[in-house]
Structure 1
Amino acid sequence: MDLLDYAFMQRALIAAALVGLTAPAIGTYLVQRRQAIMGDGIGHVAMTGVALGFLLNTSPIWMATLVAVVGAVGMELIRSRGKTSGDIALAMLFYGGMAGGVMIINLAPGGSTANLTSYLFGSITTVSAEDTVTAAVLAVFVIAVTVGLRRQLFAVCQDEEFARVTGLPVRFLNLLMAVTAAVTVTVAMRIVGLLLVSAMMVIPVAAAQRVTRGFTATLSLAMLIGVLVSLSGTAATYYVNAPSGGAIVLLAIAVFVVMTAVSTPLARRRARAARAAEEVCTRDGVTV
């Protein structure tokens, strides 16, 4: 494979694998608690961080991480209050982040909105060695949280009140999930792009849910799907000269369609088997 002869492709494939692991990992919890849109909102806020990185002549990824974490914590605090006005506040935060990014990038020396393109839609040619190392460090944190604390996080996502009664630090775990989602956005933005990162948090999870039942199985399969489509999409863009983010998301959608087609007859077969078992139990006088 000639694409592996180039250092920039090696870095891009490593970053893509990290995206494939981390985005579905945190996305499984967000989907479980019906917060699938959160990644999109964080991506909008992270744009301000990228722009600040250019303005202050520092690392856009680390600055985006800082701003995204602050924004994610703010989103979680607004959500936890449960007020009707929370939706308006979140909308202002989302679009304010995007507008702020566009304005700040134009204040940077030699800056223009064109500089944001690779961060918005992903670009395999702009992934530097520093970006790869940063993504790897952040990915370790994401995997440690999502896999190491999966029992506690699942309990909070399933029923916050029950988790609180059992003694779990619900507020801390909610904030930790928000921070982890923010970190995941910055891991993915160089490959998938800020505007498409939410898709990688949701679509592999939705695809996995079509053929799995348990939470752990869904988490594992979603991460596997994420890695496969991320690597395949990144490799494909080497040959067709297209934005990596678009290719990865389209492949993820294709996998979802295939999983849906496969799951439909399986679901019908399971339903028939369940009805047959119920009929047998009823005939034999067994209560089910």
Structure 2
Amino acid sequence: MESLFWLVQGVLEPLEFAFMRQALMMGVLLGILCAVVGSYMIVQQMGMMGDMISHSVLAGLPVALYLNVPLSLGALVAGVLSAALLSFLESQSRLKIDGVMALILASFLAMGTTLVTVLPGGDRLDLIHILFGNILGITPQDLLLTLGITLLILTAVFLFYKELLFYTFDPVGAQASGLPVHWYYLSMVTGISLTVVATLQTVGVLLVIAMLVAPGMTAYLLVKELHQMMILGAMIGSLAAIMGMYLSYYINIPSGAAIVLVAFSLFLCAFLFSPSQGLLTQQLRRK
């Protein structure tokens, strides 16, 4: 009975602080958002696309500061431009997509670093904060922005699920049947860019790709259908965010890194013990 009391006390104590309540709500929203977008990235083998966009948004941040517009708008424009440039270079040359991604990632990152030092006011940009995030420093406005992005993407997925499913697993067939595949591609990279924008404040550029792929990959090892993968991935992502926040609170480690490490730990559990694809499960079945 005493141990139960201390457990409940340990769960409730961080909730006394407004910044922890906001951070936990943000973590749950991002767990849902990253899992839904990340599921499409995984089945389409676009994992590195998220990495490229997450680094490319840095080029838009100092421009947004200079023009006195929201940083999220500058990041979104830079992310979509990098994906559009990738599509153009790939379609107009014999270059492989992985090489083009690496080139765009490095170029946009260098562009962002240069603009920070060249544009007036660029030095006000906290690069450490952008790279590693700070979920404990979010504001109610950040929470509302993330809620809006999450609702927008969930609504789009609900309305166009069948078309996106067709395009995801058979893009050639989708194009042959008359679906506007270029618009679907643009909508997907816009969704990835919006997710990166929402996640910058929490885990930062360097860790955003882990939140985009880890919950979806974990769910991929446990279920077979795409909608099941998104639902389970959202639960796993939310759980990773909550557990990571509590770990950060009690053992004093960076919150963004704690969330990613929990997400990776959950992936390892699925990798080892998944009933159908777990490494140890398969070995035991053979014995």
Q: Which residue of 1 aligns with 2:269?
A: 258
The one-letter code of the counterpart of 1:220 is I
AA at the equivalent of 2:121: P
1:145 — aligned with what? Answer: 156
- What is the DSSP-based 3-state SS (H/G/I as helix, E as strand, rest coil) of the residue aligned with 1:37? helix
Q: What is the CA–CA distance in structure 2 between the aligned matches of 1:56 and 1:221, rounded to whole Å?
A: 41
Question: CA offset at residue 214 of structure 1?
Answer: 1.9
| Cα distance change of structure 1 residues 110 and 176 upon mapping to structure 2, 3 Å threshold | closer
Report Cα offsets for 1:51-103 as digits up to 9, x if no partner. 32333343222321222222233334444557316544432321122122222
Q: What TM-score, normalized to structure 2? A: 0.85
1:195-218 per-position Cα deviation (integer Å, ceiling 9, x unaligned) = 111111111111112121222221
- The answer to whether the 8 Å contact 1:119/1:189 transfers is yes
Q: 2:56–2:79: 8 Å Cα contact kept in structure 1?
A: yes
| Residues 137 and 179 of structure 1, relative CA distance in 2, 3 Å threshold | same
Residues 8-157 of structure 1 correspond to what in structure 2 (within 5 A)?
A: 8-80=19-91, 83-84=94-95, 86-106=97-117, 107-109=119-121, 111=123, 115-157=126-168
- Determine whether 1:188 maps to 2:199: yes
Greater CA drift, 229-238 or 50-59: 50-59
Residue number in structure 2 paired with 1:280: none
1:201 aligns with 2:223: no
- Mapped contact 1:54–1:111 kept (Cα < 8 A): no
1:18-63 per-residue CA deviation (whole Å, 9 max, x = no partner) reads 2111112111111111111111100111112223233334322232
Deviation at 1:8, TM superposition (A): 2.2
SS in 2 for 1:58: coil
Q: Unpaired segments of 5 or more residues in structure 2?
A: 1-11
Q: Does 1:174 align with 2:191?
A: no
Q: Give the aligned residue type for 2:172.
A: E
Aligned length: 271
Cα shift at 1:235:
3.2
Deviates more, 1:175-184 or 1:93-102: 93-102
Provide closer, same or farther for how the CA distance between residues 79 and 20 of structure 1 changes in structure 2, counting only shifts above 3 A: farther
Counterpart code for 2:127: L
Q: Percent identity?
A: 27
- Output the aligned Cα RMSD: 2.4
Q: Offset at 1:189?
A: 1.0
Structure 1 pair 44–56 and aligned structure 2 pair: CA distance change class (3 A): same
Q: Could you tell me whether the CA contact under 8 Å between 2:31 and 2:234 is conserved in 1? A: yes
AA partner of residue 126 (structure 1) = G
Classify 1:110/1:175 alpha carbon distance in 2 versus 1 (closer, same or farther; 3 Å): closer
Structure 1 residue 123, shift from structure 2 partner: 0.6
The residue identity in structure 2 corresponding to 1:99 is A
- Select between 221-230 and 162-171 the one with higher mean Cα deviation: 162-171
